[in-house]
Amino acid sequence: MQGLTVNDLWANYGANHVLQGVNLPDLSPSSLTAVIGPNAAGKTTLIRAISGLQMAKGVVRLGDVDLMQCSWTERARHVAYMPQHLPDGLALSVLETVLLPAQVSMSPFAGPDVALQDRAIQILSVLGVESLAMQQLRSLSGGQRQMVALAQAMIRDPRVLLLDEPTSALDPHHQLSVMQCVRSFTRRQQVIGVFVCHDLNLALTWADQVVALHQGRIVAHGTPETVITSDLLSEIYNVQGRVERCSKGRPLLIYDQAI
């Protein structure tokens, strides 16, 4: 099985050293990992560095493949990144937007790929937004655009799926359906899933493991309940809080106050 290895990863914006030797635990196929941490901790930079969109130094390997040495196209075949927001001003329909990255490597003279279009519709339908297929992207709400961005990443059939706050604009129903969809996609296709989130209850509920990033360094990793603790909340978020059990026995994070 082709696990993802990230070791000693460094990235900076000028004098701002955003990632300072990040070592992730081994990320295995079919697993879902949440990256948590306060604002400006470096979470987006980390997953962009893994995808190759952000310049970085260090080790990023997928099984035997050294992703740092791959061409951009080869890296993009292995790794898909879903941004927090799709760029504004794209004069494309939803279907065209979803198909765009999957068609980049095709000849401009190739006819329409019907199988790919069917697959795009099928992914939109799993996300519950197939009725939007012919609408213009710029006419959609923030939450609808977020689901289109997810469909765009999924259609590429990546080995690694990197999601930047995939549910931040979604209502509770769509948060649940998107996370169910992501989890079944990673398990069924043996994909390595990584999502950045600020909603720690989302991490407690959906992640197999959690990585906590603070000031560009990993300060904790492990199962959700071993990482998301009162101590961690006060240490990196300056918040007093606790993990309780709901009536169904599931862990639930309660925030008491800012410190």
Ligand X SMILES: Nc1ncnc2c1ncn2[C@@H]1O[C@H](COP(=O)(O)OP(=O)(O)OP(=O)(O)O)[C@@H](O)[C@H]1O
Residues in the site for ligand X, rule: CB under 6 A? 13, 16, 18, 37, 39-45
Cβ–Cβ < 8 Å for 192, 161: yes
Give CA–CA dist 224/34, Å, rounded. Answer: 9
- Taking the least distance from each CB to ligand X, the nearer of 29 and 193 is 193
Taking CA 245 as the corner, what is the angle to CA 239 and CA 248, rounded to the nearest 5 degrees? Answer: 145
Distance of CA 112 to the CA centre of its chain: 29
16-22 sheet: strands from edge to edge: 16-22, 4-13, 57-62, 65-66
Task: Tell the smallest beta-carbon distance from residue 12 to ligand X (Å).
Answer: 9
Shortest spacing between CB 159 and ligand X, in angstroms:
23
Closest CA to 125 of 96, 117, 75: 117
Task: Kindly state the smallest distance separating residue 14's Cβ from ligand X, in Å.
Answer: 7
Q: Based on CB atoms, which residue is closest to ligand X, 34 or 120?
A: 34
CB-nearer residue toward ligand X: 43 or 119: 43
Q: Which is nearer to ligand X, 53 or 155 (CB)?
A: 53
Whichever of 39 and 71 has its CB closer to ligand X, that residue is 39
Q: Report in angstroms how near the CB of residue 193 gets to ligand X at its nearest.
A: 18
What is the per-residue DSSP string for 147-207? HHHHHHHHTT--SEEEEESTTTT--HHHHHHHHHHHHHHHHHTT-EEEEE-S-HHHHHHH-
Query: Cβ of residue 145: shortest distance to ligand X, in angstroms?
Result: 17
Which is nearer to ligand X, 14 or 108 (by Cβ)?
A: 14
**Shortest spacing between CB 40 and ligand X, in angstroms:** 4
Which letter, b or e, does each residue of 19-41 get, where b requires 16 or more Cβ atoms within 10 Å of its Cβ? beebebbebebebbbbbbbeeeb
